[in-house]
Amino acid sequence: MRCHRGVLRISTCRQRHRPFGAHSKGIHLPPSDDSTPKIQPAGSENAVPPTTRRLIVALTGASGVIYGIRALQLLRDVPGIETHGIISPSALRTAQDEVDLSSDEIRALPDVLYSHRDIGAAVSSGSFQTIGMLVAPCSVKTMSNIAHCNAGELTPRAADVCLKERRRVVLMFRETPLHAGHIALLDLVTRSGAIVMPPVPAFYSKPASVMAMVDQTVGRALDLFDLHLPHVHRWTETLPE
């Protein structure tokens, strides 16, 4: 682990997820399987090796931190993708109640990790090239800050940069039920160019577990960045029997 000019860099050496005991709390994440074939971007079978593309992934304090965690885990196997993570203290606090990974294990998931307070980080500038930003989950506070261009912390600043540069911003908004103020925020942020994608599960895929629903939903979110994961069930194409 090295710190250079405000950027906390995590070693690219991948580690297996620790085994989960029968009595561990929270959602059980599947262990790494080195025999699993690498994910290939759509249409890449005969293409030259892809150049590195950067995707910002931010985790906020809303319930559903598993969506951001699984996105980071699944993106490890996508060739040519480099993840730039922003993980708030609130996200780590939520994770204590929802998953069985430690804060250090979660922080180790992105290729590059930034402090949520570092508004001078690379992703705070439009000259730093990325393919966009996924906020998973997205809290009401974060949605409000993005909608109102309130860039006091890095997550809303990075989202604002992506929007002004006309890059894709996907917000997995995690709140229900909604009042008029929430709906106004959804309208405002959509008018700014963001895509609001509440993590609503699809049942046509006949999910066998909570994790199957999570992975299907995360896969659909990554579809919006033209990152097509092979496990995603698609209507009339790859539905289970």
pLDDT tens-digit series, residues 143-163: 999 999 999 999 999 999 999
CATH of the domain at 127: 3.40.50.1950
Domain assignment present for 2: no
Residue-wise pLDDT tens digits, 91-144? 999 999 999 999 999 999 999 999 999 999 999 999 999 999 999 999 999 999
Q: What is the domain extent for residue 108? A: 50-223
Specify the number of domains making up the chain: 1
Q: Which one, of 183, 88, 191, lies nearest residue 142 by Cα?
A: 88
Cis bond before residue 198 (omega within 30° of 0): no
Domain assignment present for 87: yes
Beta-carbon contacts of 207 under 8 Å, excluding residues fewer than 6 positions away, are 201, 213, 216
Domain assignment present for 203: yes
Domain assignment present for 9: no
Domain assignment present for 166: yes
Six token digits for residue 178: 């909604």
Average pLDDT over every residue of 7-20: 42
Domain assignment present for 43: no
In this prediction the pTM is 0.80
